[in-house]
Amino acid sequence: MTNMLLAEWQTPFGLAPFAAIDDADFAPAFEAALAEARGEIAAIAENPDAPSFADTIEALEAAGKGLHRVLSVFYALAAADSNPKRQELQRDFAPKLAAHASEIYGNKALFQRVESLWAARDTLGLTPEEGRLVMLTHRAFRRAGAALTGDEEARMRAIMARLAELGTRFTQNLLADEAGWHMALAEEDLEGLPDFVVDAARAAGCEKGLEGPVITLSRSLIVPFLQFSPRRELRKKAFESWVSRGAMGGETDNRAVAEEILRLRAERAALLGYESFAAYKLETEMARTPEAVRDLLMAVWEPAKARAEQDAARLTEMMQADGVNGELEPWDWRYYAEKRRQAEHDLEEAALKPYLSLEAMIAAAFGCANRLFGLEFRALDVTLYHPDCRAWEVTRNGAHVAVFIGDYFARGSKRSGAWCSAMRGQAKRPKVQAPVVINVCNFAKGDPALLSYDDARTLFHEFGHALHLMLSDVTYESISGTCVARDFVELPSQLYEHWLEVPEVLERYATHVETGEAMPRELLDKLLRAANFDQGFQTVEYVASALVDLAFHDGAVPVDVMDKQLEILENIGMPRAITMRHASPHFAHVFASDGYSSGYYSYMWSEVMDADAFASFEEAGGAFDEERAKALERHILSRGGSEEAEALYLQFRGRMPGVEALLRGRGLAA
């Protein structure tokens, strides 16, 4: 029987034939594709001809395409629809892929070819993009330890293999904790909960095969429960379980895993000659140094903490007026903040939700992309990896641009959070290929599905990443789309969130799910006036997480991550009623892979730019100014990593912004 992972896909737009792929296909396909990739690398390294851009750099770009195709399917499923077999395969694949990467970067003949091209780069007649690719390839080899020899080289290989294993374990432990916990609700426990929370709790119970409603650790369910449940003891139980993910003891406990990851990262950086892992990691980012990151975070921390402490005093008064003595606790904050929002802004989430259906918000995201960039979206009738998934063909002026896949609903087999990925990136060489892009979210299922305003913001955020991938127009896949500095990658996503706040967008798309009527102007005005409500809380929980991440990687390796986390929070004066957005044992951004390690600050670094970038639209002809939209696509969205991020932003805006734009945007300016 043909293994479809290794066959040519005769499918619409070259989509993976998910219905014809079985879990049993992955291991043999992986081994075959890995062997093929090794052969391709060997052929480049052993080429007797003098190295050229085409036979070395461009050949490396083309190598491993078969392996990438297998893994793009596998990891899409492993993240969004996991099962025990796929988790077993993840554990098996991780060290083998780490070893493969070490083989490439440790291949001395191959490194010598890259090194010679780097030395001769000014004489090769390269285009700017080709020159960029030579630089990035050489830098990747150097930073991976290609120049190491002997015991140091062997130790680096062992470190990378172990880190791959630990990252996989961290992710799977977290998924197990999230999937394994629920809190059953009796009918009397539903008191005070809006219908949409009750419906979501009943749907979660059904998904788990239970008869009654339950609260799970899915953010889209537990946050509204914490906002609306008047039962303080249930809020406490739910909150403590939520923040204990990854630290529940037993085989799924992530504390020792995180500690070992930090030790190995520090050793890796030392082998490469860096003072700390943060110094190593930030070298290639816009920030460049840990000091620059810390300066930004602390510039925001103090005004955010001051606002949060003012808000805490007000919420404490409200709680005590309810007859609850003692101090405000973390499981109280969202409940009394929601009451305060209703009192001060006359704005109830239950009143908003009927106007924020999933269908309406998808239409809004698509509609803005059409007005800004001329994109059209046509629903496709194709089989994907889960019945919840949907696909659209993206075109412009009748020409195919991309395929966009949306996987929006929470389920026990999906890891938490929201993300965007490319099953296939844009490229022109070695062959022309259009991107296949996936947005994955964890919204509560309903009939119809209704979103909170934060959910709608998340949908726009991830679609901003998707636009970065879909509008990419470069030659090589490795520098296309979101292949940019980590502290620049969030600019398109966070910038796109601003269009959700444009009144004419909400007036057109925020229509009542039953009547079809537009959101009343009074409600719309209340929503926009409350846009910065509770920003002290939101900024503090985020910045605290970013500061802990930075401290973990810039200095002595902590013996105990929880003790070190507590020490850091005490040093910055963390308000007692607010917790980190991501405590260390479930800080997947930082510990599931190297992706955001030392880089969780990047959302805020990008926010400095996104506030300034959207202001450029407002200063011009408004949110849909044609020339600004063209500039955004021309200088940022289409360019991927073909130039340094700062150069791209300067081409778009003409200057770099200061932190003031961010503080104004969050309503924290003095």
pLDDT tens digit sequence for 230-268 = 999 999 999 999 999 999 999 999 999 999 999 999 999
In-domain check, residue 151: no
pLDDT of 670 higher than 80: no
Q: Are residues 367 and 305 in the same domain?
A: no
Residues 24 and 93 in one domain: yes
Q: Are residues 53 and 34 in the same domain?
A: yes
**Four-residue CA torsion sign, 381, 385, 389, 394:** negative
Average pLDDT, the chain: 96
Q: Which residues pair with 392 in a beta bridge?
A: 379, 404
Q: Assess contact for 606 and 468: CB atoms under 8 A.
A: no
Q: Final residue of a domain: which of 555, 577, 600? A: 600
Cα(415)–Cα(176) distance, integer angstroms: 9
Does any domain span residue 170? no
| 551 half-sphere exposure, CB direction, 13 A CA radius | 22
Residues 434 and 508 in one domain: yes
d(CA 249, CA 334): 27
pLDDT reported for residue 520: 93
pLDDT for 349 equals 83
**Predicted pLDDT at 446:** 85
Q: Looking at residues 89-93, what average pLDDT do you find?
A: 97
Task: Reduce the DSSP state of residue 323 to 3 states and report it.
Answer: coil
pLDDT reading at 62 higher than 90: yes
Give residue-wise pLDDT tens across range 653-663.
Answer: 999 998 888 88
Q: Please, which pLDDT band fits residue 454 given cuts at 50, 70 and 90?
A: very high
Q: How far apart are CA 61 and CA 477, in angstroms?
A: 8
* Mean pLDDT for the stretch of residues 528-534: 90
| Residue 176 domain-assigned (yes or no) | no
Domain count within the chain = 4
Neighbours of 442 (CB within 10 A): 23
Look at residue 167 and tell me if it is in a domain: no
Looking at residues 376-380, what average pLDDT do you find?
98
Q: Decide if 218 contacts 238 (C-beta within 8 A).
A: no
d(CA 90, CA 28): 14
What confidence tens digit (pLDDT) does each residue in 611-649 have? Answer: 999 999 999 999 999 999 999 999 999 999 999 999 999
pLDDT of 444 above 80 = yes
315 shares a domain with 218: no
The helix (H) or strand (E) run that includes residue 225 is helix 219-228
The helix (run of H) or strand (run of E) holding residue 570 is: helix 561-572
Tell me the per-residue pLDDT of 410-437, one tens digit each, with 9 for 90 and over.
998 999 899 999 999 999 998 999 999 9
Looking at 245, 275, 293, the residue that finishes a domain is 245
pLDDT at 447: 86
**Which tens digit of pLDDT belongs to each residue from 353-366?**
999 999 999 999 99
Q: How high is the pLDDT of residue 412? A: 87
Distance CA 577, CA 574 (A): 9
Kindly state whether residues 342 and 360 are assigned to the same domain. Answer: no
Asked whether the beta carbons of 463 and 358 are under 8 A apart, the reply is: no
CATH number at residue 280: 1.10.1370.10
pLDDT for the residue 317:
97
Same domain, 373 and 508: yes
- Assess whether 257 and 325 both reside in one domain: yes
Within this chain, do residues 518 and 540 fall inside the same structural domain, yes or no? no
Nearest to 392 by CA among 380, 401, 375: 380
- What CATH number should be reported for the domain holding residue 522? 1.10.1370.40
Q: pLDDT grade, residue 283 (50/70/90)?
A: very high
Of 462, 490, 541, 633, which one is the catalytic site residue?
Answer: 462
36 labelled catalytic:
no
Q: Name the band, by pLDDT with cuts 50, 70 and 90, for residue 350.
A: confident
pLDDT at position 616 is 95
Read off the pLDDT band of 665 (50, 70, 90). Answer: confident
Whole-model pTM?
0.93
Claim to verify: residue 274 and residue 289 sit in the same structural domain:
yes
In this prediction, residues 664-669 reach a mean pLDDT of 86
Segment (H or E) for 405: strand 399-409
Query: Residue 233 is part of which domain span?
Result: 181-245
Q: Are residues 561 and 510 in the same domain?
A: no
Residue after which a domain boundary falls, among 245, 276, 299: 245
Residue 207 inside a domain? The answer is: yes
In terms of domains, do 633 and 561 share one?
Answer: no
Domain membership of residue 175 (yes or no) is no
For residue 188, being part of any structural domain is answered with: yes
* CA 621 from centroid of its chain's CA atoms: 31
The DSSP code sequence of 503-561 is HHHHHHH-B-TTT-PBPPHHHHHHHHHTTTTTHHHHHHHHHHHHHHHHHHHSSSPPSSH
Instruction: Give me the pLDDT at residue 391, please.
Output: 98
Judge whether 505 lies within some domain.
Answer: yes
What's the Cα-to-Cα distance from 514 to each of 193, 194, 197, 408, rounded to whole Å? 21, 17, 18, 21
Amino acid at 195: D
